[in-house]
Amino acid sequence: MKLKHEFKNAWGVIRENNAMEQVNNYSKEYMNFLDVGKTERTSAKEIIRLAKEHGYISIEEAINNKSVKPGDKIYANNKDKGVALFLIGEKNLESGMKIVGGHIDAPRIDLKANPLYEDANLGFFKTHYYGGIKKYQWTALPLAMHGVVILQDGKKVDISIGEDHSDPVFCITDLLPHLAADQSQKKLAEGITGEGLNILIGSQPSEGVDKDPVAYHVLKILNEKYGMVEEDFLSAEIEIVPAGCSRELGLDRSMILGYGQDDRSCSYAAVKAILQTESPKYTAVALCVDKEEIGSNGNTGMKSRFFENTVAELIALEGNYNDLKVRRAMANSKVLSADVAVGYDPNFPEVYDKRNSAFIGNGLVLCKYTGSRGKGGCNDANAEFNAEVRRIFNEANVVWQTAELGKVDQGGGGTIAYILAELGAEVIDCGVAVLSMHAPYEVVSKADVYEMYKGYKAFFNINK
């Protein structure tokens, strides 16, 4: 009898199974998703495109067909910012669903409603950051601009500047070391302030304009390209994200460096897994939501009624609808809350409990609880469901490990797990280890994201 379970390294198992080609192919597809899905809107759009390619129809089409049956593939679009994919199972929805739920928003910088101004012959946008970021990490980086603008006539215009090699990019300036004596004495969190995250957007003045000629020139360019006037910023959603594509990391190309991997790594795995699933006993659901990074609020966050209402629509299509069936469907469901875990970083060992940390390359991560200081705000999965998921992964030869979020009282965080648990579902957090989480560029292992996809697929296909 072994005293302690030893977690496997995923690369060894992958080599034993001659799966290197599958890992590399999956990684390429995933990196393409990261590059296309720089925002929650573009991620949702790409998920819907992939779903349609695999025969999924919209919930509106299903309602028009007035029926739903095992094998049907249905997607629901939540205001272009969230998506739920349903593969209808043999058993009715009242019996419960197998749900893998993650989020597709990521920490970023948003433009304020009145962003445009000029100072010292330079044009800037005022911003407000979204989610938990270290503000200093966003300075002196090439940045891209994405979003939508609703013009005065109601026309919706998509904006994307900074991703193509021929595009200009933007940046937030920082203070040179020679003049940074006072800045260097500040606490790390105060070196760059929230109000200091101003996006540099231009320096060329318009001819014949006396007041704010640089800002005027910038607005003129936006008007020519998108038909915008300054007032249109009031009805715009414009996000600032790192420019450029994700890259392979390391001489051995074993890792992926990219923006937004928390939590698009998990959401993509959920989508890929359900698209590779056929004829499940219980309805399989890949649920990709917005607003997790700011508390899951709003009508596109997990706290909204979107998912519950969509399930109600599908139950109505089964026939003999009543509200109790919806409640039973939720309470009988089993959920993998698809969110990343913090990876152990030997550069900062003081914040981790090494015996209870996730390690890059050791596969999929099960996290029984998140929360902070006394498990506050967490789901805390029960032993029965924890063991059930463990058995599923073992039977499918999925490489997995367990972890928690750093040392007790060191900090903490949360996921969408508790929200579905409040409806009675069995839920456990399940994702991959990430280094530099919430930084403009995050790090994951190719082996880990592949094992995550395998684990989610096994969860969808288990008939228990």
pLDDT for res 8 = 84
- Other beta carbons within 10 angstroms of residue 264's beta carbon come to 29
pLDDT for res 405 = 84
pLDDT for res 2 = 57
Cut 0.75: pTM above it: yes
Query: Across the 464 residues of the chain, what is the mean pLDDT of every consecutive 10-residue run?
Result: 71 95 98 98 98 98 94 98 98 97 97 97 98 96 97 94 96 96 94 97 94 96 95 95 97 98 96 96 98 95 97 96 96 96 95 93 92 77 93 96 85 83 94 97 98 97 76
Max Cα-Cα span within the chain: 84
Torsion, CA 178, CA 191, CA 104, CA 29, rounded to 10: 30
pLDDT for res 277 = 96
Q: Which element (helix H / strand E) includes 184?
A: helix 181-185
3 state SS of 78: strand
Is the domain 108-242 a CATH 1.10.760.10 member?
A: no
- Other beta carbons within 10 angstroms of residue 183's beta carbon come to 15
CA distance linking residue 269 with residue 339, whole number of Å: 11
The pair of three-digit structure tokens given for residue 248, joined into one six-digit string: 């392979």
DSSP 343: B
Nearest to 262 by CA among 143, 105, 402, 372: 105
The pair of three-digit structure tokens given for residue 279, joined into one six-digit string: 């004829």
- Other beta carbons within 10 angstroms of residue 227's beta carbon come to 14
3 state SS of 414: coil
The pair of three-digit structure tokens given for residue 36, joined into one six-digit string: 């296309």
The pair of three-digit structure tokens given for residue 160, joined into one six-digit string: 């994307």
Fold topology of 10-106+259-461: Aminopeptidase (3.40.630)
Q: Answer yes or no: are the C-beta atoms of 280 and 90 closer than 8 Å.
A: yes
C-alpha 3 chain-centroid distance: 37
Nearest to 293 by CA among 270, 313, 263, 314: 263
CA distance linking residue 319 with residue 338, whole number of Å: 31
3-state class percentages of the chain: helix first, strand second, coil last, to nearest 5: 35, 25, 40
CA distance linking residue 267 with residue 289, whole number of Å: 9
- Strands 255-258, 247-249: pairing is antiparallel
- Residue entry with tokens 């082996």: 447
- Asked if the peptide bond before residue 263 counts as cis, ω within 30 degrees of 0, the response is yes
CATH 2.30.250.10 domain span(s) along the chain: 108-242
CATH 3.40.630.10 domain span(s) along the chain: 10-106+259-461
